[in-house]
Amino acid sequence: MTDSSWDTFARVNAGERYRAQSAAIGSQVTKAIVEEARITPGLRALDVACGSGEPAISIADLLRDSGQVVGADISAQPLQVARERARNRKLSNVEFLQADVHQLPFPDGSFDLVVSRFGVMFFSDLPRALREMHRVLRPGGRTSHLAWASMHQPYFETTIGVVLKLLPEVKLPASSRAMFQFGEPGALTARLQEAGFQDIEERVVEVPWNWPGTPEELWAYFREVTIPLKPVLQAIPAERQDIHHAVLEALRGRYDGQRVKFDAAVVLASGRR
């Protein structure tokens, strides 16, 4: 994924339009990785691929005056949202900067903790990115990652899965399959080990993934912000409105009148330098 892919006007605009819903749907995965990171007073933490600010903001909120957090992302636009969110929370112990995970602008051993929520699947040179995270950790420092598990779960089966079923000639490109590369048990552990991390723990957990709004809003949001699946979404012919109707029908089956409700299956993996 390139910087420009994530920083498109449509994606940024959708993120702004659905900012509250986006924060809500991801709140429980943020909570999961923050718990996984085992925050203790005095930590200096780095959140890689922080996007619009999580989990950096939640970690900074826990630390307050007892530690420091840096959020880094390759895209500039989401970082503006992150800074605004931090100001609204009156957090003075977190800063956000534009940086490439493949060449982090920090000295060796700068952090006690490096985390990434939904980032590790998209690094173009994963071994190099993980080695950089390893480098900026102090000896004994901890890293924690959260990634999507298998694509075969309700959130994707009721959206992109419906599209693929109705367009059997369309196949997931490699860039899309990368989003689910750690769904195979032990896959993320292996990559962390190759980068030099030790004492790795990995597990799949299910957490609530609920959209506070209508199926129509969720489908509009999904189509704009889920950049890795964009090639499939763009393959929907303009005249095939039946595909959109089928997706909405599937989403309505999970709608309780206020929320579209799912459980998300995600991989959590942690290790030490």
Q: What is the CATH number for 221? A: 3.40.50.150
Look up the pTM and report it. 0.92
Q: Which helix (H) or strand (E) holds 119?
A: none
Residue 96 CB contacts under 8 Å (≥ 6 apart), including other chains: 50, 53, 56, 70, 71, 72, 73, 79, 82, 83, 86
What sign does the dihedral 79-205-152-258 (CA atoms) show? negative
For the chain, list residues with pLDDT below 70: 1-16
pLDDT the model gives residue 14:
53
Location of structure tokens 């940024």: 12
When the pLDDT of each residue in the chain is averaged and rounded to a whole number, the result is 93
Structural domains in the chain (count): 1
Q: Domain limits at 110?
A: 3-272
SS3 of residue 197 by DSSP: coil
Strand partners, 69: 45, 94
The whole-number pLDDT of residue 3 equals 46
Q: What angle do CA 178, 240, 162 make, to 5 degrees?
A: 40
Kindly give the pairing relationship between strand 111-117 and strand 44-48.
parallel
The SS3 of residue 97 is strand
The whole-angstrom separation of Cα 271 and Cα 172 is 31
Q: What is the pLDDT of residue 9?
A: 43
